[in-house]
Amino acid sequence: MADEFDVEYIRGDDREARILVRGLTPAFANGLRRAMIADVPTLSIDTLRVVENSSVMFDEMIGLRLGLVPLTTPDDFEYGDTVTLSLDVEGPDTAYSGDLESSDPDVNPADEDVPIIQLNENPSGENQRIELEAEAVLDDGKSHAKQSGGVAVGYRHLRKVSVVGDRGEFDEEETNILRGVIETEDGELVPTDEFDHDLTERYPGKELEVEDVPGAFVFHVETDGSMTVEELVLRGIDSIESRADELQEKVAV
């Protein structure tokens, strides 16, 4: 494996990006993918103390919904650390994730507009109300999917597309679907959605050759908002590094 990796951002924002990495082995690429899904810890609500819940949902259902709301996770937390959040909403109204009040200014719901529960008026004329305290805990994706910072993280080989000639005059034009990112003969990187994932749109009437570029992987990284894409990738790498160091230390003579 190469000592240095060549990393290139193809397209992306804070929540979603395509990143090209050259010089990886398939095993390491998969290791990085798995680290981003299961080994980068995030904060998620795990326990509730319910003061009042007269909504149409059971406490447990509210707890599940709150757990799935992503919380911004700074990197100075240790496994098992907790943050307390509170929710107090009276109907007729809808309780949103943005109504959660956090005891830590760095830990907040990443999305403010996720509806938790709609509160109406009871048949007896009272307003439904929800009041609770929630405990968010730092843990990783191995314990529960809600603790995973990565959403649909995956990779594909970078494919090189070269024109080898013209299509035969009487050959049928068939669609040539390819998804991911291609490298053209001039070394240009083109995401396939620019030509509707169909190579015949980009190279009409040409005969093409498509081959994998060895050791080049295009990662598609999307986060739930608990951290930026960059942060997720870096923390994934840190996690691999710290485990490799630990192994080295343990087997050292």
Number of residues that this document lists for the chain: 253
Choose which of 57, 178, 234, 240 interacts with another protein (CB under 8 A).
Answer: 57
Q: Segment 36-55, which members bind another protein (CB under 8 A)?
A: 54
**Beta carbons within 8 Å of 186's beta carbon, 6+ residues apart:** none
Find out whether 129 and 51 touch, Cβ atoms under 8 Å.
Answer: no
Angle at alpha carbon of residue 246, lines to 243 and 247, rounded to 5°: 90
Least Cβ distance, residue 1 to another protein (angstroms): 30
- Distance CA(99)–CA(43), nearest Å, equals 17
Least Cβ distance, residue 82 to another protein (angstroms): 21
Cβ-based nearer residue to another protein, 193 or 209: 193
Residue 241 CB-half CA count within 13 A: 6
Q: Segment 76-135, which members bind another protein (CB under 8 A)?
A: 97, 110-118, 120, 122-123, 128
Least Cβ distance, residue 232 to another protein (angstroms): 13
Least Cβ distance, residue 32 to another protein (angstroms): 18
Could you say whether residue 236 binds another protein (CB under 8 A)? no
- Distance CA(54)–CA(59), nearest Å, equals 9
Options 173-181, 196-204, 220-228, 241-249: segment touching another protein (CB under 8 A)? 220-228
Could you say whether residue 177 binds another protein (CB under 8 A)? no
